[in-house]
């Protein structure tokens, strides 16, 4: 009986406290009104800071430039329509694409196999392999670039597309292994057992079960790898010889003035990437909706 009364009292106090509460809470909200504005302003500034160079690049891809593309001289579509008229721009871009695709393919295939081996099997030097794969990520790029250049030199290999591809495949490999490894680790080994139990030979089990289930991870790794390769300047610069990639071309051109055609390609790559992300998001959303039905 007394317990009940007590509970009632406590309850009453709580209700009372709640009724009293709104006033100080509201005052507190007023007191922090600066905070209410600070965050949006800060966010807007941060976004602007991030976006200004991109917007600048896109806007100046429409600049009717003559020698340099620094001052605004008027709107034109010429740069977009004749991208390849400026010598070197398209060649550098093509090289970057070729290097990106080739090194990504090499790194993704090798990296996926290494990731499978590292997760699934216990072998000698497994820990050492893990460590070695981590090294390229931890080492400064300048060191890798210079080191590779020295190796190519002492091995007497002429610098060119081949050396760039080898260098890129090397540092992309680490990122692929790390990405795919996480996916392999989350793959239930019972699924492959079930595949073998259901009359699947080793290759059938791999292609029909393991591979499709790893595919999202492999694709993510390939995209990461491609963007790393496409972006890379430091390692490429050390090992490119006379070959220009898009980043090295722009670096060299910057001393004279970057041609507007470079802005076109940069803008196009940016817009394409955004489009791919958007399409991916929208189709995922559509799929979710379909499943929810």
Partner 1 sequence: MARGLFAESGADLELVGVRKEFPGFTAVEQLDLTIAAGTFFALLGPSGCGKTTTLRLVAGLEEPTAGRILIGGADVTDTKPFRRPVNTVFQSYALFPHMSVLENVAFGLRRRGIGDPLGKAHTALQLVELDHLAERKPAQLSGGQQQRVALARAVVNRPALLLLDEPLGALDLKLRRQMQLELKNIQTEVGLTFVHVTHDQEEAMTMADTVAVMNKGRIEQIGAPEELYELPRTSFVANFLGQSNLFAGEVVESGDATIGVQAAGRRILVPTERAQRRSGSVTVGVRPEKLLLLTEEPAATAGINVLGPGRVTDVSFSGVSTQYLVEVPGVGTIIVFAQNLVFGPVVERGAEVWVSWRVEHGFGLSDAPVSSIAQAHEALVGGAEA
Residues engaged in binding partner 1 (CB under 8 A): 188, 190-191, 193-201, 204, 208-209, 212-213, 291
**Radius of gyration, CA atoms only, the chain:** 28
CB of 186 to partner 1, least distance (A): 11
| CB-neighbour burial class of residue 98 (10 A; exposed 0-12, middle 13-18, buried 19+) | middle
| CB-neighbour burial class of residue 252 (10 A; exposed 0-12, middle 13-18, buried 19+) | middle
Is 290 in a helix, a strand, or coil? Answer: helix
CB of 190 to partner 1, least distance (A): 4
Residue 197 or 231: the one with the smaller Cβ distance to partner 1 is 197
Q: Which of 184, 168, 152, 197 is nearest to 96 (CA)?
A: 168
Beta-carbon contacts of 246 under 8 Å, excluding residues fewer than 6 positions away, are 92, 93, 95, 96, 230, 262, 265
Contact 159, 152 (CB under 8 A): yes
Residue 191 or 284: the one with the smaller Cβ distance to partner 1 is 191
Distance CA 112, CA 181 (A): 8
Residue 191 or 279: the one with the smaller Cβ distance to partner 1 is 191
CB of 198 to partner 1, least distance (A): 4
CB of 209 to partner 1, least distance (A): 6
Residue 214 or 228: the one with the smaller Cβ distance to partner 1 is 214
Residue 43 or 198: the one with the smaller Cβ distance to partner 1 is 198
Residue 193 or 231: the one with the smaller Cβ distance to partner 1 is 193
CB of 269 to partner 1, least distance (A): 32
Q: Which residues of 152-188 are buried (b: 16+ CB within 10 A; e: fewer)?
A: beeeeeebeebbbbbbbbbbbbbbbbbbbbebbeebe
CB of 108 to partner 1, least distance (A): 20
């Amino acid at each position: 009986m007394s317990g009940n009364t007590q509970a009632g009292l406590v309850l009453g106090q709580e209700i009372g406290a709640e009724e009293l509460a709104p006033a100080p809470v509201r005052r507190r909200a007023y007191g922090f009104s600066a905070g209410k504005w600070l965050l949006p302003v800060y966010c807007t500034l941060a976004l602007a800071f991030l976006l200004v160079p991109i917007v600048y690049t896109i806007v100046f891809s429409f600049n009717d430039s003559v020698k340099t593309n620094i001052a605004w001289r008027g709107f034109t579509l010429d740069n977009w329509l004749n991208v390849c008229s400026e010598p070197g721009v398209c060649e550098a871009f093509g090289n970057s694409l070729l290097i990106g695709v080739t090194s990504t393919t090499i790194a993704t295939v090798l990296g996926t196999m290494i990731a499978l081996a590292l997760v699934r099997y216990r072998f000698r030097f497994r820990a050492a392999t893990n460590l070695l794969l981590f090294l390229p990520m931890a080492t400064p790029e300048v060191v890798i670039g210079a080191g590779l250049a020295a190796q190519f030199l002492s091995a007497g290999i002429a610098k060119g597309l081949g050396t760039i591809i080898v260098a890129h495949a090397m540092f992309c490999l680490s990122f692929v292994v790390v990405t795919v490894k996480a996916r392999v680790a989350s793959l239930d080994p019972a699924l492959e057992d079930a595949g073998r139990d259901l009359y699947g030979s080793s290759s059938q089990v791999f292609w029909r079960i393991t591979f499709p289930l790893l595919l999202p991870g492999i694709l993510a790794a390939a995209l990461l790898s491609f963007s790393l390769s496409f972006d890379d300047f430091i390692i490429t610069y050390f090992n490119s010889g006379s070959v220009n990639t898009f980043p090295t071309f722009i670096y060299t051109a910057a001393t004279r003035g970057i041609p507007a055609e470079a802005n076109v390609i940069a803008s196009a790559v940016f817009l394409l990437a955004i489009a791919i992300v958007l399409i991916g998001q929208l189709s995922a959303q559509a799929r979710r909706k379909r499943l929810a039905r």
